[in-house]
């Protein structure tokens, strides 16, 4: 597996939500996983579509397909499926959570006039 490509487990979760499968009406995509890896590459690198590596196919085709899926709401539904669990269900035992020794912050110091300053003022 190359850098910026998804694992088989992630693909199994994502694949049913992308259009272009043989069971879908209309055109069948040549390789849905390659397209999804192209999208992942763009999102992780932040590069423009024109800089998409040739191994992913034509950048303009991938860009147009990405936009069509966005207009259909496919990406929104996919994000809802793969989002992280609700934090209400996460429990942390505070007896094992440790903070760095400097995490408490700076203590407020009370300013006391020095002896020489007090002598000069009087």
pTM: 0.61
Q: What is the pLDDT of residue 15?
A: 84
47 located within any domain: yes
Q: At what angle do helices 59-72 and 74-82 cross, to 10 degrees?
A: 80
What's the number of domains the chain is made of? Answer: 1
List, for residues 4-36, the tens digit of each pLDDT value: 788 888 888 888 888 765 555 445 566 888 999
Q: What is the pLDDT of residue 49?
A: 94
Q: What is the pLDDT of residue 60?
A: 94
Interatomic CA distance for residues 49 and 97, integer angstroms: 43
54 located within any domain: yes
66 located within any domain: yes
117 located within any domain: no
List, for residues 54-113, the tens digit of each pLDDT value: 999 899 999 998 999 899 998 998 888 877 766 666 666 666 666 776 676 666 666 666
Q: What is the pLDDT of residue 37?
A: 92
Query: Domain limits at 56?
Result: 8-86
75 located within any domain: yes
118 located within any domain: no
Interatomic CA distance for residues 6 and 41, integer angstroms: 10
114 located within any domain: no
Counting every residue written for the chain, the total comes to 122
113 located within any domain: no
């Amino acid at each position: 597996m190359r850098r910026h490509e998804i694992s088989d487990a992630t693909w199994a979760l994502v694949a049913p939500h992308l259009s272009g499968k043989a069971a879908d009406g209309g055109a069948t995509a040549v390789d849905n996983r390659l397209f999804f890896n192209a999208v992942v590459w763009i999102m992780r690198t932040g590069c423009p579509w024109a800089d998409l590596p040739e191994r992913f196919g034509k950048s303009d085709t991938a860009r147009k397909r990405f936009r069509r899926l966005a207009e259909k709401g496919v990406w929104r539904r996919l994000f809802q499926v793969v989002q992280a669990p609700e934090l209400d269900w996460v429990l942390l035992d505070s007896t094992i959570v440790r903070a760095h020794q400097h995490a408490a912050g700076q203590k407020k110091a009370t300013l006391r006039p020095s002896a020489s300053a007090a002598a000069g003022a009087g």
